[in-house]
Structure 1
C-alpha cells in the first residue's frame, strides 16, 4: 500500500519528535520542511538550542498537558538509562525545587522517581521559599539530543528540505516541490509534484505570522541564559515564585556545561543578551548554588559574581513560543489551491517553556489526531 505523504513544518524539538513518531509508525512518508535545523549555528530563530531543558513539568493535575508531560518523561527516562539509546544526551540527577508559594497536595510532580516534599528546615535557608520538593529527573544536552532526533528520523527513512515557508498553501499545492534545489527538481522530473496528504504545523513562534495560520495569540517569552563550565555540579536547583514572576535555575548537563537562568519576559523581542541581566542572573544563581565557584577559585571565604564570570562560556537569549490560552493541539483542514479538495492539518505549537517537557507526548497526540482525521475523510 502506498504510504501517505505528510509534511511537518518546523524542526525544533516539537517538530523533530512529531516527525520521528510518524515515520516510526509506518504507513507515512514524512518530510520536514524548516528554515533552521539543529545542525546550524545558534540563532535567535531556533529556540530549541537555547533551552535550559530539564524535565520538570509545569502542568497542573487538571490540565491535559500533565499526562503528555508524564508520557514524555517516561520516554526520556528510558532513553537516558544505562545503555539507553540516547544515554549520552542526558544526565540523570537529583533535582530540588524551591517555591515562593504553597504547593498543591498531591504535588503535580509526585510521579517523579524518589519524590518527596522538603521539610521547613530543608528550605528555610532559601530566601522567600514557602515549599520545596526533591526528586530524580533528567537534564538534556540540547545540541546532541536534537541531532539524535534528526539523525534517527533520517535513518528511519524521513526526509528533510530546507525552506522558508510564508504560507501553508505553498506546501498544500505541490508539497515540497517549491523548496527543492535545481538538482533535486531534475532528479524528480519524472515524478510530477502533487499535494501532500496532510500537513502538521510545528512552527513555534512563526505560527504568529505564517500565512494560513496567523495565530495572533502566539507571543514570545524571552529567556536569557548563561552557559558555564562547571563539571563538578551534579545536582539541579530551581527557585520559582509566581507572585514575583521569578525563575532562577541551575541545570547541569552530562557534558560538564551548566546552564544558568533565567528570565520570563513576555513580548520582549530583544535578540541579544543584556549585560545587566547577565549579572543579575549570576547573582541569583550564585546565591542559590554557591558551589558553582569552587574553593580554589575563591579569593575569600564567600564566592563572588566576578569569580563566577571566569567560568562563563557563552550567553544568549531565546524566544519561548507561548500562546494565550495555552498549547494548540488540534486538527483542522485546509484547501488544496486550484482544487475543491481539502487535506488534514494538525496544529502542534504554543508550548512556551515546555517544548522538551511535552515533546514525545504531543508527538503521540499529533499522530492520533492525524489518524482520526484520515478516518473521518
Structure 2
C-alpha cells in the first residue's frame, strides 16, 4: 500500500490527510505544530473565525471548492449528528455600504438566502444579505480532525522540515511514495517549494464570552479592517478583524485591538451583557471589555495567483532518478476552513492521477 507524507497539520493538512486515508493510502502527517499545542503565530488555524461564507466572487474554481466543503460541513452539523457539537448552525448577515453591482453567487446555493429589508440595515449600510450557514468551533474541530486521522490509522511525526528532500530520503519516517504539501505560510520558505508568491495576510481578532449571541454579522469598516462577530457553539464569540497584506507582525496590536472592540459594539450592541441592554443606555466598549478571553493574531497564507492546488513529480535524492508524485494544496488565504474539504477532495484526485502515471 502506498504511503503518503502530508506536510502540515493545520485545517487543510489534516483534512487532506483524512481524505487520503479514506482513499485507501497510508498517511503520515509531518509538522512542527499540532492541535492542542500552545498558541503560536506559525499555526494560523487556531486563530480563525471561522464561519462558512464564501468569498470566491468570480473565481469559479474556488467557489466550487467552497460549496463542496459546505455540503460536507452542513451534513456534519445536522441535529443529532455525532459531529453536530463541532459547529453552530446560524444566520450569517452581511451589511454593505458600497453599491452591489454583481449578482451574488451565494443566492442560489445557501439555505434561506434573501436580501435584507431596509428596516434591518445597521450602521449606515445601504444593503445586506441573510442566509443560513455554520460556524466552526475551531478548538474542538481541529482536535477532532487530528483524532480522526489517528483513529483511521494515520501517523503523526513532530518535526521541523527544512527541505522536502529530508522527507523524501526518510529522515522522519520510511521513504514515502508521495508527498502532499499543505504547509500554509510555510510554503514560502520550505526548501524544494520556496513559493515566493506566498505572502501573509495578517489577521487580528478578539475572543470573548457571550453565549447569548446566536448569529454572525459582518460589514466593511475601512481598508484592511472588517467588522465581524462570529459565535461558536461553546458560547465563545470571535470579534474581528484585520486583512493586512505582507504584514508579518506576530502579536496583537493595541490600537487595532481597540478598533475591533469599537467596531463590534457599534455593529452589534447586543454584545453587551443583559443588565446593560436592559438599562436603556447605549452600550460601550467598556461594557464588553470584561468579557474578553484573549486577543489573537494569525498569518493567513495568501498567494498571488490564488490557491495552489496541482500535481507534479519530484525526484528522490540518491535513488537513481526515482520520481514520486507530489500534490500542492496551499495558499488558501482566509478561506482555509471554507474550502478545506473541497480542496482535500481535489488533492486526492490529483494524487490518484499521479500514481497512475
TM, length-normalised to structure 1: 0.91
> 1:370: how far off?
0.6
Say yes or no: does 1:277 pair with 2:274.
Answer: no
Residue of structure 2 aligned with 1:267, choices 226, 246, 249: 246
The alignment partner of 2:3 has SS state of: strand
Q: Write the deviation string for residues 221-259 of structure 1: whole angstroms up to 9, x where unpaired.
A: 111100010000011101036x83431100000000000
Q: Is residue 2:209 matched to residue 1:252?
A: no
Q: Which moved more, 1:72-81 or 1:58-67?
A: 58-67
For residue 62 of structure 1, report the CA deviation from its aligned partner.
4.1
Q: 2:352 aligns to what? A: 371
Q: In 2, distance between residues paired with 1:366 and 1:277?
A: 37
Deviations 1:278-320 (A, max 9, x none): 1110000111100100241467611111111011011120100
Name the SS of the counterpart of 2:163 in structure 1.
coil
1:344 equivalent to 2:337? Answer no
Aligned to 2:53: 56
Alpha carbons 1:86, 1:145 under 8 Å: kept? no
* Kept in 1: contact 2:4–2:180 (CA 8 A): yes
Deviations 1:204-235 (A, max 9, x none): 00000000000011111111100010000011
Contact 2:166 2:172 in 1 (8 A): no
Report the more deviating stretch, 162-171 or 103-112.
103-112
Aligned residues of 2:9 and 2:33 also touching (Cα < 8 A):
yes
Q: Distance in 1 between matches of 2:100 and 2:58?
A: 12
Aligned to 2:29: 32
From 38, 43, 50, the counterpart of 1:41:
38
Q: Return the alpha-carbon distance in structure 1 between the equivalents of residues 273 and 105 of structure 2.
A: 34
Counterpart of 1:204 (choices 165, 180, 184) is: 184
CA distance in 2, matches of 1:323, 1:37: 23
Cα distance in 1, alignment partners of residues 168 and 99 from structure 2? 49
- How many Å apart are 1:272 and its aligned residue? 1.0
- Unaligned runs of 5+ residues in structure 2 are none
| Matches of 1:244 and 1:277, distance apart in 2 | 13
Which residue pairs with 2:151 in the alignment?
Answer: 155
Verify the 8 A CA contact 2:273 2:287 in the aligned structure 1: no
Question: For residue 186 of structure 1, what is the aligned residue in structure 2?
Answer: none
- CA–CA separation in structure 2 for the residues paired with 1:313 and 1:244: 27
Q: CA deviation at 1:119?
A: 3.3
Task: State the match for 1:164 in structure 2.
Answer: 160
Whether the 8 Å contact between 2:90 and 2:216 is mirrored in structure 1 is yes
Residue in structure 1 matched with residue 193 of structure 2 by the alignment? 213
Among residues 256, 271, 282, which one is paired with 1:302 in the alignment?
282
Paired residues in the alignment total 354
Gaps of 5+ in 1: 181-192
Give the 3-state SS of the residue equivalent to 1:331 in structure 2.
strand
Structure 1 residue 94: deviation in Å?
1.1
RMSD value over aligned CA atoms? 1.5
Which residue does the alignment assign to 2:339?
A: 358
Contact 2:5 2:180 in 1 (8 A): yes
Relative to structure 1, the CA distance from residue 214 to residue 244 in structure 2 (aligned partners, 3 Å threshold; closer, same or farther) is same
Q: For residue 72 of structure 1, what is the aligned residue in structure 2?
A: 69
Aligned-pair CA distance for 1:100: 2.9
2:126 to 123, 130, 138: 130
Residues in 1 aligned to 2:229 and 2:342: alpha-carbon distance in whole angstroms: 25
Residue 142 of structure 2: aligned partner: 146
